[in-house]
Amino acid sequence: MPDIGDIVRAEDLGRIGRRKYIWAECPDCNLQRWAAMKTLDKGTRRRCQDCIRASIKREFKVGRAHTIDRL
Protein backbone atom coordinates (compact mmCIF):
# COMPACT_ATOMS: atom_id res chain seq x y z
CA MET A 1 0.00 0.00 0.00
CA PRO A 2 1.48 3.37 -0.98
CA ASP A 3 1.95 6.16 1.54
CA ILE A 4 0.05 9.44 1.28
CA GLY A 5 2.01 11.78 -0.98
CA ASP A 6 3.64 9.10 -3.15
CA ILE A 7 3.88 10.22 -6.78
CA VAL A 8 3.86 7.94 -9.85
CA ARG A 9 3.42 8.33 -13.58
CA ALA A 10 0.28 7.23 -15.41
CA GLU A 11 2.07 4.37 -17.15
CA ASP A 12 3.07 2.90 -13.76
CA LEU A 13 -0.63 2.63 -12.90
CA GLY A 14 -1.55 1.13 -16.27
CA ARG A 15 -3.13 4.33 -17.51
CA ILE A 16 -2.54 6.13 -20.79
CA GLY A 17 -0.86 9.51 -20.91
CA ARG A 18 1.90 11.44 -19.20
CA ARG A 19 0.13 12.71 -16.11
CA LYS A 20 1.52 12.28 -12.65
CA TYR A 21 -0.69 10.84 -9.95
CA ILE A 22 -0.43 11.25 -6.20
CA TRP A 23 -1.78 8.96 -3.48
CA ALA A 24 -4.26 11.26 -1.73
CA GLU A 25 -6.83 11.03 1.02
CA CYS A 26 -10.35 12.50 1.02
CA PRO A 27 -10.67 14.98 3.92
CA ASP A 28 -14.32 14.00 4.54
CA CYS A 29 -14.36 10.18 4.53
CA ASN A 30 -10.61 9.38 4.63
CA LEU A 31 -10.82 7.26 1.45
CA GLN A 32 -7.38 6.88 -0.11
CA ARG A 33 -7.01 6.90 -3.89
CA TRP A 34 -4.80 7.85 -6.82
CA ALA A 35 -5.61 11.40 -7.93
CA ALA A 36 -4.15 13.42 -10.78
CA MET A 37 -1.73 16.03 -9.46
CA LYS A 38 -3.02 18.63 -11.90
CA THR A 39 -6.52 18.54 -10.40
CA LEU A 40 -5.24 18.52 -6.83
CA ASP A 41 -3.10 21.58 -7.54
CA LYS A 42 -6.19 23.46 -8.68
CA GLY A 43 -8.00 22.39 -5.53
CA THR A 44 -11.00 21.06 -7.43
CA ARG A 45 -10.74 17.39 -6.49
CA ARG A 46 -9.63 17.17 -2.89
CA ARG A 47 -12.74 15.11 -2.02
CA CYS A 48 -13.68 11.74 -3.50
CA GLN A 49 -16.56 11.30 -5.96
CA ASP A 50 -18.94 9.91 -3.33
CA CYS A 51 -18.44 12.92 -1.03
CA ILE A 52 -18.88 15.34 -3.93
CA ARG A 53 -22.13 13.64 -4.97
CA ALA A 54 -23.42 13.66 -1.39
CA SER A 55 -22.71 17.38 -0.98
CA ILE A 56 -24.41 18.24 -4.30
CA LYS A 57 -27.42 16.15 -3.33
CA ARG A 58 -27.56 17.84 0.08
CA GLU A 59 -27.25 21.34 -1.46
CA PHE A 60 -30.01 20.57 -3.93
CA LYS A 61 -32.38 19.43 -1.19
CA VAL A 62 -31.64 22.52 0.91
CA GLY A 63 -32.12 24.85 -2.05
CA ARG A 64 -35.32 23.14 -3.04
CA ALA A 65 -36.76 23.40 0.48
CA HIS A 66 -36.14 27.15 0.51
CA THR A 67 -37.90 27.70 -2.83
CA ILE A 68 -40.94 25.67 -1.73
CA ASP A 69 -41.30 27.74 1.44
CA ARG A 70 -41.35 30.95 -0.60
CA LEU A 71 -44.25 29.86 -2.80
CA distances in angstroms from 6 to 21, 27, 36, 71, listed in the order given: 8, 17, 12, 52
Render each residue's pLDDT in the chain as its tens digit; 71 residues. Answer: 889 999 999 999 999 999 999 999 998 899 999 998 887 777 767 888 898 888 888 776 655 555 555 54
Domain spans of the chain? Answer: 7-70
Q: Phi/psi of residue 54, each to 5°?
A: -65, -40
Going by C-alpha positions, the residue among 36, 70, 35, 29 that lies closest to residue 52 is: 29
Identify the helix (H) or strand (E) that includes residue 42. Answer: helix 37-42
CA distances in angstroms from 24 to 8, 20, 27, 54, listed in the order given: 12, 12, 9, 19
